[in-house]
Amino acid sequence: MLSFLRQGKVDAEIKKWEKMLRKILSVLEDAEEKQMTNKQVKMWLSELQDLAYDVEDILDEFAMESLQRKLEGEPQASTSKVRKLIPTCCTNFSPRAVTFNFEMLSKIKEITTRFKDITEQKDVLNLREIVGPSRQVWQRPQSSCLQDEPQVYGRDEDKRKILDLLSSDDTSSGKVGVVPIVGMGGVGKTTLARLVYNDEALQHFHPKAWVHVSEVFDSLRITKSILESITLKHCEMKELNQVQLALHKELAGKKFFIVLDDVWSENYEDWNALRPPFMDGAPGCRILVTTRSTIVAGRMGTVDFHRLESISDDDCWLLFTKHAFENRRDNALANQEIIREKVINKCGGLPLAARTLGGLLRAKHEDEWEDMLNSKIWNLQDDESEGLIQPLDGERQPEDVGAKYFQDLLSRSLLQASIDGESMFVMHDLVNDLAQWVVGETCIKLENKSMVGEQFKKERARHFSYIPDEFDGIKRFEPVHKLKCLRTFLPLPLYRR
C-alpha cells in the first residue's frame, strides 16, 4: 500500500512509515491476544486501526486528484498507475496543485507523528514479538462420557429424539448409522451426548466408546483412542494401518456405539480415512457426532442432523441458581426478580453461560453481583478467542469473500436461519454482543430512536447502518454531520412480522 508513494518529497516520510510499521506488525499478534483482557491494548489497536483508515483516505485523495486532473486535461500520470501521480503533483505548479501538494505533505507528516506515537506505546504496553508459531494454540479441554452435572435442565425432549434416531431402522443406508447433533458453542451438545451415552436404553450396544475429537482431526489419534476405550489397554502402535486392523478386529460383527465429540474438520477425506474399521459391524451399529458445523453434519451423517437450541428462561435460571447457590444456606436474593432478568438476558439460554456465571457469582457477595452482571460475559472467564475472518486471498471479489464468511458463520451455528423467512437469519445475543465489542466505535447500528444520542457519540465511526422506522424524519439524521470519518451508509429493509 505504501510502495507506490515512494517518489518525490514524500519518499523520506514513506520510509519512516515502513520502518515503524515493521515494528508494529512484529507485536500485532501479541496485541490481538491481549486485547480481550487489557483495555489499554484494545485502545492501542483501535488507534492503529484509525491510523490505517486515515492512510487509506490519503491514498484515496491522491487517486481522486489524479482522476480530476485527467478530466480537466492537465498533463499527469495515468490513473491506472497511481505510483506516477506523486511526481506530477510535486512538479505541477498550478495554484490548485500547489495547495494540494502542501495539504498532502502536511497530512503525511501528521501520519508520521501518529506512527511514532503508536510505535512508542507498544513498548509501554510491553507488547512482545511472538517467535516461532504464529499463535499459541488454545487447548480445548477434553470431554469424557462421565456426567459432570447431577441434573440437566431442559433436555428431556432432545434426549428422547436422539434415542429415537439411534434406535430407528432408517438411521443408516448400510450397517453403520451416523447421527449428528449440531449447535453453537456452549449450547450443551456434549452434555446431551453424555445423557444419551449413559442411558439404559443403549445398554444393548456393545462395545461402547467415547472420543473427544477437537479441531485437529488426527485419524491415528482418534482410532487409538477408540481402541483404548474399548480394550482399556494402552496402544503402543504408531502406524494407522496397524491400529485400524486392531480396531476392526474388536468391532467386526458387534453392535457398537461410538460418540465422536466436538468434530470440527469439514474435510470429507478425514472422515473417509477414519471409518474403514466401522464397516463390518453388526446391523444397527451407531455413531453419535457432536459438532458446531452443519457441513460436518452433512458429510458424516446418514440422517438429518438434530439442531440443539437454547434452553428456556426457566431452565436457564434453574441451572444458574444451582451453581450460584450450591452449598449456601441462604439462597434468597433481596432483588431476585431484577437479578433473574439480568441473568436470563446475559446468558441467552446457553447452559455454559449460565453455569459459568453461576460459578463466578457463588464466591461473591450479593453487593458485587451488580458489577459482575454488567460485565461482558467473555471478560468473566479465560475463554477461547478465535479468529473468524482471514485476509482476502488471490483475486476473489470482496462480495464473494463476504458470502463465504457468511456461509462459514451459518455452518458453524453462529448464525441461524429464521423461521420467519428464507432470506432472514438470526444471531444469538451473546454473539451479537461480542461482535459489537470487537468492532468498538468503528460501526454504528441505529435500530430505534432511543439509540440516537448514544450511537452518534462515536465520532470516529467508519460504517453506519440503520433499520428505518415507518415515521422516520430528517431530524433523526441531523447528528450524522458529526461523523467526519464515515465511509459506509447502509439502510436496511424495514422488517415487519
Q: Would you state the pLDDT for residue 390? A: 43
CATH 3.40.50.300 for domain 156-307, yes or no, is yes
Q: Is the pLDDT of residue 381 over 70?
A: no
Summarize pLDDT for 119-141 with one digit per residue, the tens: 899 889 888 877 655 555 456 67
Q: Which tops the pLDDT comparison, 79 or 410? A: 410
**Up-side HSE of residue 433: CA atoms within 13 Å toward CB?**
13
Give the whole-number percent of the chain exceeding pLDDT 70.
75
Distance, in Å, from the CA atom of 51 to the CA atom of 5, rounded to the nearest integer, reads: 17
- Its pTM stands at 0.64
Instruction: Give the three cell numbers for residue 462.
Output: 467508519
Instruction: Give the three cell numbers for residue 117.
Output: 506515537
Structural domain boundaries in the chain? 3-124, 156-307, 313-379, 401-491
Residues 6+ apart with CB under 8 A from 307: 182, 183
Q: Which tops the pLDDT comparison, 401 or 80? A: 401
Q: Is the pLDDT of residue 115 over 60?
A: yes
313-324 helix and 351-361 helix, angle to the nearest 10 degrees: 30
Summarize pLDDT for 388-431 with one digit per residue, the tens: 334 445 556 667 777 777 777 777 777 777 766 667 787 777 77
DSSP assignments along 237-302, one per residue: ---HHHHHHHHHHHHTTS--EEEEEEE----HHHHHHH-GGGTTSPTTEEEEEEES-HHHHHHH-S
Q: Would you state the pLDDT for residue 82? A: 42
Summarize pLDDT for 271-291 with one digit per residue, the tens: 999 999 999 999 999 999 999
Distance, in Å, from the CA atom of 381 to the CA atom of 441, rounded to the nearest integer, reads: 24
Q: Is the pLDDT of residue 495 over 80?
A: no
DSSP assignment, residue 123? H
Burial degree of 432 (CB within 10 A; 0-12, 13-18, 19+):
middle
Sign of CA dihedral 79, 12, 27, 58: negative
